[in-house]
Amino acid sequence: MTSTLESTPEADRTVREVGIAIIGSGFAGLGMAVTLTQRGESDFVVLERAGDVGGTWRDNTYPGAACDVQSNLYSFSFAPNPDWPRSYSEQPEIQAYLRGIADRFDVRRHCVFDADVTSARWDDDARRWLVTTTAGEFRARVLVSAAGALADPTYPDIRGLDSFAGTVMHSARWDHEHDLGGERVAVIGTGASAIQVVPAIQPVVDSVTVYQRTPAWVVPRTDHPVKPAMRRLYRFVPGLQRAVRAMLYLFREFLVIGMAKNRRFLKPVGKLARAHLHRQVRDPKLRKALTPDYTIGCKRILISNDYFPAVAAPNAELVTAGIAEVRPHSIVATDGVERPTDTIVLATGFHVTDLPIAEKICGRDGRTLAGVWSEGMVSNRSATVAGFPNLFLLVGPNVGVGHTSMVYMIESQVAYVDDALRTMDAEGLAVLETTTEAQDAYRALIAEKSKGTVWLAGGCASWYLDKHGHNTTLWPDFTFRFRKLTKKLDRENYVGVPAGAPSEHSEVAA
Ligand code: N01
């Protein structure tokens, strides 16, 4: 099998044969690509809709964008970086890290940039995925979707938003050409993105109005620069950085006890958040408006030292009344107050429970993944779906985490997918497909683990739950349990068709 990677117009008209097509080059896509490269697999492409690697860390360039997990943990275990300038890195450093990974592990030569996947269809006769992109067509034995869950912004359905005459930008699609200096800016949303945007822009704007639907629990950010001596130490004693990483990991896993097992253990975290609010906000009315009425942890716990001071600043206003309508030069709240506005920042999140990539992937019987998931996302071990042979999902259903590093989960998933690919090779399988029974069992496992957790019973609405109130996004347990569950392919939950065996669903049980 050959893979022609030159992106010449002539090549674009031909269908390129590849072993594995990976969609996306964020942490997940890169992690998969590095793993394949490391074991000598070279017959793969990484289809990237943008012009560079990085995924969400390439796209989220809003002022103040930073990670709320320490970099010693929020990085690949196989590529520690002794040179992180701060304990919690900012977006440019993380993006530089990911670009460095692509270079160091020679992944770029597999990347096809500006290749937006418009459809991926399983051809049961050919036993191949036919992947159509804006940079040409690919026929792949295996498709790995690493398109990400925080990839496609959600634009709110607010009356009159289209009629706004000023600038509207989503936090994930920041317009750096637009100068906010001296403007009256409205920020809609108070999630992880908003609480980073608001303090970053508050000092330069004329005024900032924060439209809050639900207040967030916010705890202090224990961020600090990493001293050069410490960086040297990390460089020469890598075991030290590994030890710090392990400590951070364990500390964060303790939160799961409170979130998923016994709510009592969340009490100290709640106290910390209340004390933080009290210390930073003196005005009792504002303090009350910023106090959540749901259990801490139900939504993502946010970390910030400058959000509350920014909202309490003289040129800031917190609006808790809903938005009635947007007019060409103003926003009218449901209490009737109209506020003149020059720019609207939508910090309104992403399509997480309705992943847009799912609309583009068509399985054996012609149904899209979105169609199969219309009543909620289902999978076996968060990675495979019955009816979608040779398809593997990274950062798909029930892999999300609110308390620790997503990179840990991604590495668990990559190991699982890699074991599946090795199994296919070792057994000479043309097709590997999970069973509906395995999928049902996994759904039941997730439902059982989710019962009584703070995400389901914490008294809030969040993007962790789908429209039916089911947890289809989060892994509701310790992350080491996910790693154990996905350490090896659960071969008994798959049907494999050997190469050369008759096509027509000639299922050979494992
Ligand atoms: O998005 P969100 P985000 N009218 O969905 C509000 C990761 N992340 O971009 O809470 C008015 O959390 C909505 O209100 P409500 C992280 O995983 C990580 O902030 O639904 N308001 C909410 O306040 C995070 O969880 C970092 O009532 C509307 C906000 O918009 C995920 O990204 C940094 C509205 C959306 O919050 C998403 O965070 C940033 C409407 N019509 C992000 N619609 C790190 O540091 C929505 N809202 C790693």
Quick: pLDDT tens for 328-343: 999 999 999 999 999 9
CB 472, CB 456: distance < 8 Å: no
Number of structural domains the chain divides into: 2
Ligand 1 centroid–CA 191 distance in Å is 4
Same domain (yes/no): 170, 215: yes
Q: Sort residue 334 into left (φ over 0), alpha (ψ -120 to 50) or beta.
A: alpha
Among all chains, which residue has been given the structure tokens 């939950």? 493
One domain, residues 297 and 365: no
Q: How far is the CA of 231 from the centre of ligand 1 (A)?
A: 33
Same structural domain, 283 and 411: no
My answer on whether 355 and 497 are in the same domain is yes
Please answer whether residues 348 and 156 qualify as being in contact, where contact means their C-beta atoms are separated by less than 8 angstroms. Answer: yes
Q: Which of 213, 351, 395 to mutate to test the pocket of ligand 1 (most atoms within 8 A of CB)?
A: 213
Ligand 1 atom with least separation from CA of 402: 17
Ligand 1 center to 173 CA (angstroms)? 14
Domain end (from 321, 346, 371): 346
Tokens for 3, please give them: 């893979």
> For atom 29 of ligand 1, which residue has the closest CA?
189
Q: Please identify, among 289, 321, 346, the residue that sits at the C-terminal boundary of a domain.
A: 346
Residues with CB under 6 A from ligand 1: 66-68, 150, 156, 158, 171, 188-194, 211, 213-214, 300, 323, 347-350, 463
Instruction: List Cα–Cα distances, 173 to 50, 167, 170, in angstroms.
Output: 13, 12, 5
Q: Using an 8 Å Cβ cutoff, are 363 and 373 in contact?
A: no
User: Which domain CATH number covers 493?
Assistant: 3.50.50.60
Hey, is 344 helix, strand or coil? strand
- With a pLDDT cut of 90, the percent of the chain lying above it is 92
Give the pTM: 0.94
Q: Can you give the residue range of the structural domain that contains 250?
A: 161-224+231-346
pLDDT tens digits, one per residue of 268-290: 999 999 999 999 999 999 999 99
> 284: phi > 0 → left, psi -120 to 50 → alpha, else beta; which?
alpha
Average pLDDT, the chain: 95
Least confident of 57-71, 445-459, 490-504: 490-504
